[in-house]
Amino acid sequence: MTRMQTLCIPTLLVWFSLLWGVLPQTAFGFGDCIATSCTAPPLSCTNLGPTSGGVSNCGTTCNNGTFNNYCQVTSLATCTNLSAPSTKICGGVCSYTKPLGSCIANPALSCGTGETGPGYSYYCPAIACTATAAACPGTYTGYGFVLPDDPVYSFPTVKDSDGKPLYPNPDTKDFLGLAAKGNVVIGDYTSDAFKTNALPNIKPKSPDNPNSKTQAYVIDPTDADLGYYTGKGGMMTDSQGRPLFDGNYDQQDKDGASPGIKSDGSPRKFYESSLDDATFKSKLSMPANSTVSIDAAVFTNHALAGMTPGSLIVNGAIVSRDDGLVYNGTMIVDHDTRLLGGTTGQQVVLPLTLHRPSLVGWKDCSPAPCQ
């Protein structure tokens, strides 16, 4: 996901610049108008009225007060001498007292309401005190992990404080897998926004496109008829004789030996549909500025690219060779546990993990970090 966030930065900058253009600067505190500054005349020790009328630099009335009850420290108090003689703002003797501060438990207390233990003062570590544990949040549960198929820690068996399942059981829902022999593109690839922000991510690196990460790679031999057998730098195969694709999705693909075309006869690039642009746009459904949600496991042997107007949520999984996703906001991927084998023995025709995770050890912790 690090790469996807990196690719998103140009889009975020564009979005912010547009937003900045329509919001008033004073909403962020910029400019010369700061109403918290008062130009009231200063008060003296002989005129200690509680306030003196003034005018802020925005032209509104304000009050500037001077009080004689603040004790200025002239001799610092120590932990062995918590009080020290001091003076007030306008003269006069006062006594400054060093606060003990909060009591920090040592060692840390577990999550138990009213539990007490030895501690020390925040300001004066040499002074002992008694710490009391706070109540645990009501949402706290004893175990923060889940192991699919485990008889104790699988999804249906982990309960909350009310005895209800803490996590939804995905085995009660339909599973959708979307797989493409070519590429998967989210959104309108005909838009200027896509061509400016997303398309450069699936083109080779060059002086004009320095941030791209696509590289040449070995393809499945059956992808040759789709145009992916382009070679790299004049070399059609790698050292083991396997066919190569140069990683440039912004070029015309093929139908067997013939150049790829759309339904209107215009050239078709790797990331484009076989439909002409007008027909494609008429069938496109994309919210104007809200979150896009995909409830499926999405697989492609090549590029997964696109641009969403808001945040992107994938409830399932995404698997691709190259990544050209750009989104405004955040991206959340909720992995479907059935891709790890699940609890019903279903056969999912998508890449699975090489092995199941195993529990090495665990420690029951309060909401505070484990020591």
Q: Which residues pair with 117 in a beta bridge?
A: 131
pLDDT digits (tens, 9 = 90+) for 159-175: 666 777 766 666 677 77
Residue 220 carries which side chain, given as an amino acid letter? D
Closest listed residue to residue 161, CA positions, set 220, 111, 123: 111
pLDDT digits (tens, 9 = 90+) for 287-331: 777 888 898 889 998 999 998 888 899 888 888 999 999 988 888
Q: Clarify whether residues 263 and 192 are in a common domain.
A: yes
Secondary structure class of 200 (helix, strand, coil): helix
- Whose tokens are 């007008």? That residue is 278
287 falls within a domain = yes
* Helix%, strand%, coil% for the chain, nearest 5: 15, 25, 60
How confident is residue 282, by pLDDT bands cut at 50, 70 and 90? very high
d(CA 291, CA 283): 19
Q: What is the mean pLDDT of residues 125-145?
A: 66
Residue 121 has pLDDT above 70, yes or no: yes
Q: Clarify whether residues 327 and 199 are in a common domain.
A: yes
> How high is the pLDDT of residue 30?
35
Per-chain mean pLDDT for the chain: 75
Q: Which of 103-117, 155-169, 332-346 has the lowest mean pLDDT?
A: 332-346
Q: What is the mean pLDDT of residues 335-353?
A: 53
Q: For the chain, how many structural domains are there in total? A: 3
User: What share of the chain has pLDDT > 90, as a percent?
Assistant: 20
225 falls within a domain = yes
Q: Clarify whether residues 124 and 240 are in a common domain.
A: no
Q: Which of 25-39, 142-156, 239-253 has the lowest mean pLDDT?
A: 25-39
Say which DSSP state 22 is in. H
Residue 130 has pLDDT above 50, yes or no: yes
Q: Clarify whether residues 127 and 233 are in a common domain.
A: no
329 falls within a domain = yes
11 falls within a domain = no
Q: Clarify whether residues 51 and 127 are in a common domain.
A: no
Residue 2 has pLDDT above 80, yes or no: no
Q: Clarify whether residues 119 and 183 are in a common domain.
A: no
Q: Could you tell me if 258 and 269 are in contact, meaning their C-beta atoms sit under 8 angstroms apart?
A: no
Closest listed residue to residue 326, CA positions, set 216, 187, 208, 205: 187
Q: Clarify whether residues 185 and 246 are in a common domain.
A: yes
> How high is the pLDDT of residue 317?
86
297 falls within a domain = yes
Domain that holds residue 114: 103-132
109 falls within a domain = yes
152 falls within a domain = no
Closest listed residue to residue 113, CA positions, set 139, 133, 130: 133
Q: Clarify whether residues 122 and 61 are in a common domain.
A: no
Q: Clarify whether residues 185 and 296 are in a common domain.
A: yes
- The DSSP string of 139-193 is T--S-----TT-TTTSTTT-B-TTSSBSS--GGGS---EEEESS-EEES-TTSHH
Q: Clarify whether residues 239 and 283 are in a common domain.
A: yes
Q: Clarify whether residues 112 and 227 are in a common domain.
A: no
pLDDT digits (tens, 9 = 90+) for 54-69: 887 777 888 777 666 6
Q: Which of 69-73, 83-87, 148-152 has the lowest mean pLDDT?
A: 148-152
273 falls within a domain = yes
Q: Clarify whether residues 231 and 119 are in a common domain.
A: no
